[in-house]
């Protein structure tokens, strides 16, 4: 479903990504793991058109390289950014409505999708009229995920969904990703909690200093002490 070939990104004279190659098949959960500064966030931004890049990004057999972010969303790709980035002065419901901009003309469909997200995260329904900026970190992550799902994406990219969350909310979010896979979503997740990401994914790529150092089945990586110690910094 997604294929990235020889992707590179520079920030001024600094190289953030160098020759990245990866692919994600339909229905897979693929994790990108690595230490801080490895280039994980830049990778997602390059895929979704938020930073300029060199190389080739294809989705469903068609090039999306050079497309603007809102055109990429219309292709069926949604990006849940690092740090949630909800619209804090808008209500929970308004945030969800903003996520449905690709289908805003179909009010019945928008309402159905909203009710589905309220069923997924009942806490959001309880706070539907509350300003998003007053929610807890875990509630904001739920909202960011639901907002992304309001465009009915087939492909979901998540950037550090566990960041700043309590263990209870981390479990809730990762359980939700498993549920989304069962619903047929394809997922690429960038995550610093490597063991958690490997435990829910089919395959994984390890980034270090802007390069893919190794990749393979997540189950095999979980059992490889050398990979865990060398690239992930877990003793």
Residue 234 has pLDDT above 70, yes or no: no
Instruction: Please identify, among 107, 134, 151, the residue that sits at the C-terminal boundary of a domain.
Output: 151
How high is the pLDDT of residue 37?
85
- Enter the DSSP assignment of 51: S
Q: Are residues 116 and 143 in the same domain?
A: yes
Which percentage of the chain shows pLDDT scores above 90? Answer: 64
User: Total domain count for the chain?
Assistant: 2
Asked if residues 77 and 173 have their Cβ atoms less than 8 Å apart, the reply is no
Q: Are residues 21 and 124 in the same domain?
A: no
Average pLDDT over residues 214-224: 92
Average pLDDT over residues 102-128: 90
Full residue range of the structural domain in which residue 96 is found: 89-151
Instruction: Please identify, among 106, 134, 151, the residue that sits at the C-terminal boundary of a domain.
Output: 151
pLDDT bracket for residue 224 (50, 70, 90): confident
Q: What is the pLDDT of residues 44-80, one digit of tens each?
A: 999 999 999 999 999 999 999 988 888 898 899 999 9
Token pair of 181, please? 């896979």
Token pair of 171, please? 């479990």
| 55: nearest Cα among 127, 5, 121, 112 | 5
In a domain, 178, yes or no: yes
Average pLDDT, the chain: 91
Instruction: Please identify, among 151, 179, 200, the residue that sits at the C-terminal boundary of a domain.
Output: 151
Q: What is the pLDDT of residues 80-101, one digit of tens each?
A: 988 768 888 899 999 999 988 8
Instruction: Report how far apart, in Å, the C-alpha atoms of 67 and of each of 53, 57, 70, 98 are.
Output: 11, 10, 8, 21
Side by side, the strands of the sheet bearing 77-80 are 77-80, 155-159, 186-191, 29-33, 203-208, 211-217
Q: Are residues 187 and 126 in the same domain?
A: no
């Amino acid at each position: 479903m997604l294929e990235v070939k020889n992707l590179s990104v520079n920030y001024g004279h600094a190289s953030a990504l160098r020759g990245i190659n990866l692919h994600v098949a339909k229905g897979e959960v693929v994790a990108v793991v690595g230490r801080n500064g490895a280039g994980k966030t830049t990778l997602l931004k390059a895929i979704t058109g938020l930073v300029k890049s060199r190389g080739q990004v294809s989705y469903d057999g068609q090039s999306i390289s050079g497309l603007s972010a809102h055109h990429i969303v219309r292709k069926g790709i949604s990006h849940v950014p690092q740090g949630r980035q909800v619209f804090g002065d808008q209500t929970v419901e308004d945030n969800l409505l903003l996520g449905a901009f690709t289908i805003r003309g179909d009010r019945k469909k928008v309402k159905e999708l909203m009710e589905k997200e309220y069923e997924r995260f009942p806490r959001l329904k309880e706070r539907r009229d509350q300003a998003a900026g007053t929610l807890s970190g875990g509630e904001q992550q739920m909202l960011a995920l639901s907002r992304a799902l309001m465009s009915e994406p087939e492909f979901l990219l998540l950037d550090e969904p566990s960041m700043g969350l309590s263990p209870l909310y981390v479990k809730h979010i990762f359980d939700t990703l498993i549920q989304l896979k069962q619903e047929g979503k394809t997922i690429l997740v960038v995550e610093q909690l490597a063991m958690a990401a490997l435990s829910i994914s089919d395959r994984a790529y390890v980034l270090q200093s802007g390069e893919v150092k190794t990749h393979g089945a997540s189950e095999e990586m979980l059992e490889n002490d050398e990979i865990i110690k060398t690239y992930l910094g877990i003793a």
